[in-house]
Structure 1
Amino acid sequence: MKWSEFCIQTTNEAVEPISNILHEAGASGVVIEDPRDLEREQAPLGEIYELNPEDYPEEGVRVKAYLPVNSFLAETVDEIKESINNLTTFQIDIGRNEVTMSEINEEDWATAWKKYYKPVKISEKITIIPTWEEYEPVSSDEIIIEMDPGMAFGTGTHPTTVLSIQALEQYLEKGDKVLDVGAGSGILSVASVLLGASHAYAFDLDDIAVKSTGLNAELNNVQDQVTSKKNNLLEGIEMEADLIVSNILAEIIVQFTDDAFNRVKPGGYFITCGIISGKKEDVRESLIQSGFEIVETNKMEDWISIIAKKPE
């Protein structure tokens, strides 16, 4: 089978929404070429190993997806372009928005994208590794999370994922029940359980995300403690949680801060991420109006995480 490589030059801000658009369009794997990953090679946390600078653009970010060459390809590409252009209605900067297409053989596609995924240390305790990489823990208390990027929305290298897991490491208590809203690959659910949560419930509207969470839970032997379910945010969810985490767009977070307040126990936390700097005050205001107290705000590159607490 032949595959078509869809490549778009965009901004760091637009990477996650564009990646979701591509997955929803049936892309078999997404590659993100972000030169900021090279800068993080030297950082004490967020360190990525063995990346080649020649594989990355000098400016902006390239997002690549692989689509099967068939009679529907042209229509699919047009729909993708339209969805990406529509991101501007959410005040998301899509940058140059330059799209190129090229054909690639299946055997080349199956191995080429793997060079972009290397072990990455993202917090004091947690290191994320792709399934095919060998890695030896450097300390006895290091937590290793295996991920399969072939089905994933996020593999731990993006700042929003790093911020989310660092917050989980700080605020999650042993035995907590966790709700992961907009779970994507399920990485935050898996991390929650490995950090001591009794159970994590992962919710996402996308079928691929639901399946990906299940696969990654199995990879890390936590399938009995992670429940993956198709659901629209917290709609219809009645259970109470000790902690809620959500790494999605700010425009989506503000839609369910009331539901989050009602579902988290008194004294519990709501970890929000996926917030660009320009949207920070919108999220803060929504959280406060729902009844939360803002505990902490953190920043990595252009991204913000806000940790809120429900008063006891």
Structure 2
Amino acid sequence: MKWSEICIHTTQDAVEPVSNILHEAGASGVVIEDPQDLERVWETKYGEIYQLSPDDYPQEGVLVKAYLPVNSFLGDTVDAIKEAINQLLQFDIDIGHNTVSVSEVNEEEWASAWKKYYKPVKVSEQITITPTWEEYQRIHDKELVIELDPGMAFGTGTHPTTVLCIQALERHLSKGDTVIDVGTGSGVLSIAAAKLGASKVDAIDLDDVAVQSARLNVKLNKVQNVVSVKQGNLLEGVATTPNVIVANILADVIVKMTDDAYQSLNPGGKIITSGIIKGKKADVKEAMNRSGFEILEIVEMEDWLAIIGKKTRVG
């Protein structure tokens, strides 16, 4: 199969909505090339290793890339992507240069080249994430290892929002807790919850590709007796009352689901939210407070936030 690389030159503020537009157009995942990555002082508390080359990044702005199969509808799809991005201006989102380029790529090179950058990474006090093709030996008996095969659909589990959620799960999840993972993606947060001692985890995602990927990774990590992966839209139709809800999704979506999350949780239950840029902090915090959550902590990593709340009353 032939593939086309769709590359959008945009801004940091537009990365999330542009990524969502590409996803809705049929892309299973995106590549984000942000030159700010070259200037950041990367956190190395847990032993991360970063191999970044300036040649891979634009001088300004951000490149968001996705891959779509070459077919007779590709031209129409690209036109629809351009139109959707232009409509972001209605929401006062700076789309920057907003240039869209299309180029053909070799599937074999695309499918394997990125793997050389994906190495085992210790993301928290207890958890290390490693790709399935890397041999990794535990440093100590209490270390929890998550093996991921993201394929070409999902990230490697080391994005700041994912790391923030895993670290929050370590702090707030008690053994025996029940968990709902909203927007599970690769399933990494569900797997982490299971390895940290959750008794039951419901992993939910609207995207069928995500559901299949999560099921694969759940089996790879041998936690299928704890984690159940299903297709669904946020918390719609969820009948269980969990102790913890974790949602690593867009801030605007979190704002819409805080009422449902509050009603779903057991009294004293907690919600861990991330996928939140600093500019959306007030919106998410206000929505959580309005729904009745007590904000327990707000933690940051790079340009991202995680907000953890607690249900303090019945109802």
Q: TM-score, normalised on structure 2?
A: 0.89
Deviations 1:72-112 (A, max 9, x none): 11112222233334445555544433322211222222222
Determine the structure 2 residue equivalent to 1:64: 65
- Quote the offset at 1:52 in angstroms: 4.1
- Quote the offset at 1:186 in angstroms: 1.6
- Supply the distance in 1 between the matched residues of 2:149 and 2:20 (Cα, whole angstroms): 16
1:178 aligns with 2:182: no
- With 122-131 and 14-23 compared, the bigger mean Cα shift is at 14-23
- Aligned-partner SS, 2:198: coil
Structure 1 contact 28–150 (Cα < 8 Å) conserved: no
Deviations 1:143-197 (A, max 9, x none): 2212222254332232111111111111011111101112222211111111111
Q: Kindly report which structure 2 residues correspond to 1:100-249, keeping only aligned pairs within 5 A, or say none.
A: 100-249=101-250
Structure 1 contact 250–276 (Cα < 8 Å) conserved: yes
Give the AA of the match of 1:190.
Answer: I
Determine the structure 1 residue equivalent to 2:31: 31
Structure 1 contact 151–208 (Cα < 8 Å) conserved: no
Structure 1 contact 48–121 (Cα < 8 Å) conserved: no
List runs of 5+ in structure 2 lacking aligned partners.
Answer: none
Give the AA of the match of 1:218.
Answer: K
- Supply the distance in 2 between the matched residues of 1:18 and 1:218 (Cα, whole angstroms): 32
Structure 1 contact 46–162 (Cα < 8 Å) conserved: no
Determine the structure 2 residue equivalent to 1:5: 5
Determine the structure 1 residue equivalent to 2:278: 277
- Supply the distance in 2 between the matched residues of 1:97 and 1:138 (Cα, whole angstroms): 46
Distance 1:51 1:21, change over 3 A: same
- Aligned-partner SS, 1:265: coil
Distance 1:150 1:87, change over 3 A: farther
1:295 aligns with 2:296: yes
- With 110-119 and 197-206 compared, the bigger mean Cα shift is at 110-119
Distance 1:212 1:122, change over 3 A: same
Deviations 1:261-301 (A, max 9, x none): 11111111011111121221111111111111111011122
Structure 1 contact 183–202 (Cα < 8 Å) conserved: yes
Q: Kindly report which structure 2 residues correspond to 1:89-104, keeping only aligned pairs within 5 A, or say none.
A: 89=90, 91-104=92-105
Structure 1 contact 151–185 (Cα < 8 Å) conserved: no
Structure 1 contact 14–94 (Cα < 8 Å) conserved: yes
- Aligned-partner SS, 2:300: strand
Distance 1:14 1:50, change over 3 A: same
Q: TM-score, normalised on structure 1?
A: 0.90
- Aligned-partner SS, 1:47: coil
- Quote the offset at 1:215 in angstroms: 1.4
- Supply the distance in 2 between the matched residues of 1:296 and 1:211 (Cα, whole angstroms): 33
Distance 1:34 1:167, change over 3 A: same
Determine the structure 1 residue equivalent to 2:77: 76
List runs of 5+ in structure 1 lacking aligned partners.
Answer: none
- Aligned-partner SS, 1:254: helix
Structure 2 contact 51–117 (Cα < 8 Å) conserved: no
Deviations 1:34-87 (A, max 9, x none): 445554655214723444443334444322222221211111222223333444
Structure 1 contact 201–227 (Cα < 8 Å) conserved: yes
Q: CA RMSD in A?
A: 2.4
Distance 1:263 1:28, change over 3 A: closer
Structure 2 contact 34–58 (Cα < 8 Å) conserved: yes
Structure 1 contact 29–150 (Cα < 8 Å) conserved: no
Distance 1:128 1:86, change over 3 A: farther
- Supply the distance in 1 between the matched residues of 2:138 and 2:57 (Cα, whole angstroms): 28
- Supply the distance in 2 between the matched residues of 1:97 and 1:290 (Cα, whole angstroms): 37
- Quote the offset at 1:249 in angstroms: 1.4
Distance 1:12 1:192, change over 3 A: farther
- Supply the distance in 2 between the matched residues of 1:25 and 1:301 (Cα, whole angstroms): 29
- With 118-127 and 162-171 compared, the bigger mean Cα shift is at 118-127
- Quote the offset at 1:259 in angstroms: 0.9
Aligned length: 312
Distance 1:94 1:218, change over 3 A: farther
